[in-house]
Structure 1
Amino acid sequence: MAPHQRARAESPMLSVVALGGNALFKRSEPLMAERQLQNIRQATTALTDLTKHSELVITHDNGPQVGLLALQGEGLHRCRPIP
């Protein structure tokens, strides 16, 4: 086997996972950073098995965060500050 083929065969698979807005905040949940962190922990815990067989890249959609910042900018008092 040629050296470049051997390196490719030994390289782990690469998995890319995109967490959408619903993975970060679920409908009807309070818009709190603590809740978002709980949801992120739950999602990443579910992904741990992938790391046994491949390299893992995790990305996310920031729609919920942008929306929350917009609501805060409008003076919505029920939103807690984002740390």
Structure 2
Amino acid sequence: MTRIAFSRQTFEKFQTCPLDELEGEISRASIRLKLQDQTSIENNRSQYQQELDRLSVIKYISQMRRGKLNREDFSAKVELVTP
């Protein structure tokens, strides 16, 4: 399984922000993905995959903050990178 590369700076932002802000970001990202039409997805598959990966990581951060995912499991799924 390939780990998702994610900005360490963005991780730290979501790790420390209020939980309602984090949940709001998850909601907005989910809506953006649902609103993309199928032809757009085919033409911009890499951009769609990046957005999907970002949403996944934000969900993992939320799970970690709520005690449903430990740091070791998070690190197995996500690679924090410095931009």
TM (normalized to structure 2)?
A: 0.30
Higher RCO, Cα 8 Å, sep 6+: 2
Q: Is the radius of gyration larger for structure 1 or structure 2?
A: 1
Structure with bigger helix share is 2
Structure with bigger strand share is 1
